[in-house]
Amino acid sequence: MSTLTRNRLIGFALALTIFAIDQWVKAWVTGPLSIDRIGDYMEVLPFFDLRFVQNFGISLGMFQATSPEMQMALIGLTSLIALVVTVWMVRETAFGDIAALAMILGGAIGNIRDRYLNGYVIDYADLHFGEFRPFMIFNVADAAITIGVVIILVRSFLLGKKDADDSQEPAPDAAERPNA
């Protein structure tokens, strides 16, 4: 098996693992912990609660889907994005990018499944410092998507600059070129 094939298989395994962890935590919070209605919460640490929220939108609550038609449109849109990420992941060769795309894919599939089964995404992780909340309430899938996007951006800025620097090197003289 080639290294590239192995890296892609690891990527798909990572996506599946993130999906499974996301679904397991959501089931645990809403099942055994019984945090399954608006207003339900459990303080875990002074700055972290498990708090049930129904997210009818996407990132940062944008594009609220309040009707069944809008929910299906949002499922279709996010599924299309997941498909694009999958194709990108299959075409990618760098393991760092494959892993980051796998995180995005696993998180996206977890949230798509929630939206399809419930009509909304289950969010529960509430990080706060007093009344200050640096993030909206989120879940494992959201965290994986965010981390994956940050990795892609950092890698593109760092590696993109390196590639640009390499391309600015002067071309070798004719005498230095092989087979000249």
The catalytically annotated residue of 123, 126, 165, 173 is 123
CB of 163 within 8 A of CB of 118?
no
- CA dist 61 → 22, 54, 58 (Å): 19, 10, 5
CB of 113 within 8 A of CB of 18?
no
The catalytically annotated residue of 97, 114, 126, 142 is 142
* Structure tokens, 94: 């760098």
Runs of H (alpha helix) within the chain: 3-30, 68-91, 95-118, 140-167
- CA dist 74 → 13, 55, 86, 106, 164 (Å): 26, 12, 18, 17, 38
SS3 for 124?
strand
97 is catalytic: no
Return the closest-CA partner of residue 126 out of 142, 150, 145. 142
142 is catalytic: yes
The residues that are catalytic are 123, 142
